[in-house]
Amino acid sequence: MSPKLGIEDRDKIIKIFTELEDNQVYSEVLDIILSSINSEYGIFGYIDDNGDLVCPSITKNVWEKCQIPNKDIIFYREDWVNSNAIWARALVEGKTNYSNQPLSPPKGHIPMNRVIVVPIIYRKKIIGILEVANKRSDYTKEDISSLETFAAYISPLLFSRLESMRQKKEISQLKNKKSKREKPIQLDDIDKQIIHQLFLDGRQSNTQIGINLKSSMSHTGVQNRIKKLMDSHLLKIQGNINFNLLNTKVAFINVKLQKYDDIDKFINKFKLCPRIFLISKIAGQYHLKIGVIGRNMDDLNDFMNYCLLADTKLINSSEITFSSEISKPEFFPLYFFNINNKNTPCGKNCLECDSFINEKCYGCDFL
């Protein structure tokens, strides 16, 4: 009978996950599993943000014995999702697969006499895989149970590690983008005074602004300053709106995308949407924070479900918070788009939407 996951093995696994930073985590944990189930070879891999299987822990001596050309530790989803390989079926089906019969691997691959494959699942989502192979005797129900116990125990530890990896990647990318930006614009005291005057009353004439400065300035000087600020995209004079006086409803949505690299794609799709007054990249559990406006709660819900959050190929998960009232700022910019044809900023066709046809959702022309 194969040993179960004992206290000693649990302590070792926790220590490995907490003390090791690199891919050595996977090989060290796999060694414990192989020893426990008396197996010669094994795999401990995880599913990355692209849905591909990454295996940094294929048993140390496998690559030397395996003569497949162009071996790699990344198995792309598009290559295995329809494969009949036992490990691929375990990932696709989300359940344990095993065999005590010799398998038929590709030519040059190490012989596989016996194998057990268990998907690692966290909150109903497959995040990795454990495989053991080539035990000297047949695998038993106890062996299968033991490997499933390892997978269940490892699941939250692996999820936490993957989340940490993702957050570090996001922070690194944000830092790289920030470092590539131009140096911040330097404002002198006159620029600050002009901006303050425009904040107080954006309809002031250039002459009046010049008079209100601490040291008066001609209307031409004020005009040139404002043009410079606008050309640098630091300043924009526009008509903003007080949502509260329109008796509208507002929601804030945190969105996690399937792939971090799709953030700009998502932003470009919705940046001209008249219902959205805020899109911000954020770091942590979610990728984006989005501010949305609508006539009422039903209108907001229909827009979010049928338009904003409908693309499951882009969106992994979301969290919605409804606002009772916005206290600050008092005014917000809103891009109005008068829908008089089938073309909407995001590419959706409101005139084909049941919610729009039945007047539950007011489409782009919601005000």
The CATH code of the domain that includes 302 is 3.30.70.920
Note if the bond before 119 is cis, omega within 30 degrees: no
90-94, 187-191, 204-208, 299-303: least confidently modelled range: 299-303
Tell which wins on pLDDT, 191 or 334. 191
30-44, 49-63, 230-244: least confidently modelled range: 49-63
> Residue range 345-354: average pLDDT?
74
208 with 258, same domain: the answer is no
> Residue range 61-68: average pLDDT?
48
Is the pLDDT at 184 greater than 90, yes or no?
no
Q: Dihedral (C-alpha) 137, 142, 147, 149: value to the nearest 10 degrees? A: -170
pLDDT score at 147: 94
87 with 158, same domain: the answer is yes
Q: Is residue 218 assigned to a domain? A: yes
270 with 323, same domain: the answer is yes
Distances 192 to 46, 90, 208, 230, 332 between C-alpha atoms, Å: 52, 63, 16, 14, 21
| Per-residue model confidence as pLDDT tens digits over 77-114 | 888 888 888 999 999 999 999 999 887 655 445 677 89
Tokens of 181: 């930006």
pLDDT band at 367 (very low <50, low <70, confident <90, very high): low
210 with 296, same domain: the answer is no
Residues with Cβ < 8 Å from 223, sequence gap 6 or more? Answer: 206
Whose tokens are 């903003």? That residue is 240
Burial label for 57, CB within 10 Å (0-12, 13-18, 19+), is buried
Number of domains composing the chain:
3
Q: Is residue 288 assigned to a domain? A: yes
Is the pLDDT at 49 greater than 90, yes or no?
no
Show which of 166, 201, 231 is a domain's final residue: 231
Q: For 327, what's the count of Cα atoms within 13 Å in the CB-facing half-sphere?
A: 0
Q: Report CA torsion sign: 229, 235, 237, 238.
A: positive
pLDDT score at 67: 44
79 with 107, same domain: the answer is yes
d(CA 97, CA 90): 6
Q: Is residue 2 assigned to a domain? A: no
d(CA 15, CA 28): 10
pLDDT score at 333: 81
Q: Where are the beta strands (DSSP E) in the chain?
A: 41-47, 53-54, 74-75, 97-99, 115-122, 125-133, 249-257, 276-281, 288-294, 315-323
Show which of 176, 207, 222 is a domain's final residue: 176
**Which residues pair with residue 75 across a beta bridge?**
53
d(CA 90, CA 277): 44
| Per-residue model confidence as pLDDT tens digits over 282-300 | 888 899 999 998 888 888 8
pLDDT score at 234: 87
279 with 347, same domain: the answer is yes
Is the pLDDT at 70 greater than 50, yes or no?
no
Percentage of the chain modeled with pLDDT above 90: 35
What's the mean per-residue pLDDT of the chain? 83
SS3 255: strand
pLDDT band at 58 (very low <50, low <70, confident <90, very high): low
H/E/C letters for each residue in 5-56? CCHHHHHHHHHHHHHCCCCHHHHHHHHHHHHHHCCCEEEEEEECCCCCEECC
DSSP notation for 123-136:
TTEEEEEEEEE--S
Residues with Cβ < 8 Å from 297, sequence gap 6 or more? Answer: 249, 322
Judge contact between 41 and 87, C-beta under 8 A. no
Tell which wins on pLDDT, 6 or 17. 17
**Which residues pair with residue 116 across a beta bridge?**
98, 132
pLDDT score at 295: 82
18 with 120, same domain: the answer is yes
Q: Is residue 334 assigned to a domain? A: yes
120 with 149, same domain: the answer is yes
Show which of 231, 263, 297 is a domain's final residue: 231
- Side chain identity, residue 183: K
pLDDT score at 57: 63
Q: Is residue 223 assigned to a domain? A: yes
Is the pLDDT at 7 greater than 70, yes or no?
yes
Largest CA distance in the chain: 94
Q: Is residue 59 assigned to a domain? A: yes
User: Could you give phi then psi for residue 98, rounded to 5 degrees?
Assistant: -150, 165
- CATH number for position 115: 3.30.450.40
71 with 168, same domain: the answer is yes
pLDDT score at 331: 85
- CATH number for position 198: 1.10.10
Judge contact between 116 and 98, C-beta under 8 A. yes
> Residue range 346-366: average pLDDT?
74
| Per-residue model confidence as pLDDT tens digits over 326-342 | 888 888 887 664 444 44
208 with 276, same domain: the answer is no
pLDDT band at 310 (very low <50, low <70, confident <90, very high): confident
207 with 159, same domain: the answer is no
pLDDT score at 2: 42
Q: Is residue 367 assigned to a domain? A: no
pLDDT band at 4 (very low <50, low <70, confident <90, very high): low
d(CA 151, CA 122): 10
pLDDT band at 360 (very low <50, low <70, confident <90, very high): confident
pLDDT score at 71: 46
**What's the domain range around 352?**
243-357
Q: Is residue 72 assigned to a domain? A: yes
> Residue range 260-277: average pLDDT?
86
d(CA 60, CA 44): 12
163 with 210, same domain: the answer is no
65-79, 273-287, 297-311, 347-361: least confidently modelled range: 65-79
Is the pLDDT at 141 greater than 90, yes or no?
yes
